[in-house]
Amino acid sequence: MTQNETLVYQLLCDADRPLSAYNILDALRDKGIRAPLQVYRALAKLVERGAVHRIESVNGFVACQLHDCGGSEVSIFMLCNQCERANEFTDTSIDSRLQSLGNDRGFQAAHKVIEITGLCADCQTAQTTVQKH
Amino acid sequence: MTQNETLVYQLLCDADRPLSAYNILDALRDKGIRAPLQVYRALAKLVERGAVHRIESVNGFVACQLHDCGGSEVSIFMLCNQCERANEFTDTSIDSRLQSLGNDRGFQAAHKVIEITGLCADCQTAQTTVQKH
DNA sequence: TCAGTGATGTTATAATATAACATGACTGTT
DNA sequence: AACAGTCATGTTATATTATAACATCACTGA
Ligand SMILES: [Zn+2]
Ligand SMILES: [Zn+2]
Ligand SMILES: [Zn+2]
Ligand SMILES: [Zn+2]
């Protein structure tokens, strides 16, 4: 792993939510990262190798939470609109069903995106509490 | 439906692939649409009402292909990287499995995104043909 | 020494999306 | 008619996300 990749990857591992490329740029300015391209290049490599995932719904990036996604199963993300936390899961049933849905139509899948946005359990109770006042 | 919404919706219905907001802007300049905001406002309404879907993977928009998505089931898009066509499906099994995956964790889902990118059947055969030369 | 390769750095620019403010059209009420 | 309320519209400026183009540097193996 190169210098810049290490910096970006460490930052993402420490973060508790998806970061945008420019979030990363700002956070790493004093570590020698000065231009967007340095971040995007590192991200491209990390994503390619499965260490990091791009979250399409928020134009952000997270470190993989499942043993570097060695497995080939599709990742499912639950994204809280309030606390912004992202949780990664896999599900064999969804994966195989999606696979056959493509096969039925002769579609050769290269990449699959499954993202659910909404309110996580914590933020729901927090909101209920506020409403009680 | 307002004037601008109608213009944008008709254009999307006629298109055979997802269009970006700026694609739409360019196409409708001579119909009186002059600024990005006019497009984005129309799109927001159309998406809210289910007549149009946003495709996160390509930052584009398509008209709903399934009776205006009156049904509550999640839409599944297959996106060809080559011809750029987008096809919309639903699948009861995936929808319910995804639902329970959220329920198990107390997650209150607001929006679900399922997108598969790759090569459609047509473009695969086209590519094979080319390789034979 | 030298060519080849991949990482880096830098500047400029493209593509996508929203903020802020002003105006216009319509509705129902007084 | 006069007025307030609401929603659609228009316009300018700006924020956010992503890539193009070009120059340089560090390492590796002839
Ligand atoms: Zn993963
Ligand atoms: Zn939350
Ligand atoms: Zn639909
Ligand atoms: Zn195709």
Domain coordinates in residue numbering, chain A: 3-63
Q: Which of B54, B113, B123, B125 best tests the A interface by mutation, with the highest count of A CBs <10 A?
A: B113
**Identity of the amino acid at B133:** H
Report the C-alpha gap between A125 and A84 in whole angstroms.
16
Cβ separation of B98 and A105 shorter than 8 Å?
Answer: no
CATH code 3.40.630.40 for A3-63: no
Strand duo B108-119 + B76-80: pairing: parallel
When CB atoms are compared, the residue of A56, A91, A97 closest to B56 is: A56
Name the CA radius of gyration of chain A, rounded.
17
When CB atoms are compared, the residue of A87, A110, A116 closest to B98 is: A116
Confidence category of residue B52, pLDDT binned at 50, 70, 90: very high
Q: Which burial class, exposed, middle or buried, applies to B87 when counting CB atoms under 10 A from its CB (0-12, 13-18, 19+)?
A: middle
Higher pLDDT, B127 or A98: A98
Q: Is the CB of B32 under 7 A from strand D?
A: yes
Cβ separation of A98 and B112 shorter than 8 Å?
Answer: no
Min Cα separation A63/chain B (Å): 19
pLDDT value of position A68: 65
Q: B-chain residues within 8 Å CB-CB of A112?
A: 114-117
pLDDT at B126 over 90: no
pLDDT at B132 over 60: no
pLDDT value of position A32: 93
B107: nearest CA in chain A? A120
pTM, entire model: 0.93
pLDDT value of position A23: 98
Between CA B106 and C1' C30 the distance (Å) reads 52
Q: Where are the beta strands (DSSP E) in B26-124?
A: 52-55, 60-63, 76-80, 86-89, 108-119
A85: nearest CA in chain B? B107
CB A10, CB A2: distance < 8 Å: no
Ligand nearest, relative to CA of residue A86:
2
| pLDDT in 10s for each residue of chain A, 133 residues | 999 999 999 999 999 999 999 999 999 999 999 999 999 999 999 999 999 999 999 999 999 999 766 778 899 999 999 999 999 999 999 999 999 999 999 999 999 999 999 999 999 987 776 655 5
Cβ separation of A98 and B114 shorter than 8 Å?
Answer: yes
pLDDT value of position B131: 58
* Of B70, B78, B101, B76, nearest in space to B90 by CA: B76
- Cross-strand bridge partners of residue B79: B86, B117
CB A60, CB A20: distance < 8 Å: yes
pLDDT value of position A73: 87
Of A83-92, B6-15, B120-129, where does mean pLDDT reach its minimum?
Answer: B120-129
| Residues ≥6 apart with Cβ < 8 Å to B48 | none
Cβ separation of B117 and A113 shorter than 8 Å?
Answer: yes
Alpha carbon distance, N-terminus to C-terminus of chain B: 52
Confidence category of residue B73, pLDDT binned at 50, 70, 90: confident
Report the C-alpha gap between A11 and A30 in whole angstroms.
13
Q: Output the CA B125–ligand 4 centroid distance in Å.
A: 10
Nucleotide nearest to B39 (CA to C1'): C17
Q: Output the CA B44–ligand 1 centroid distance in Å.
A: 31
pLDDT value of position B68: 65
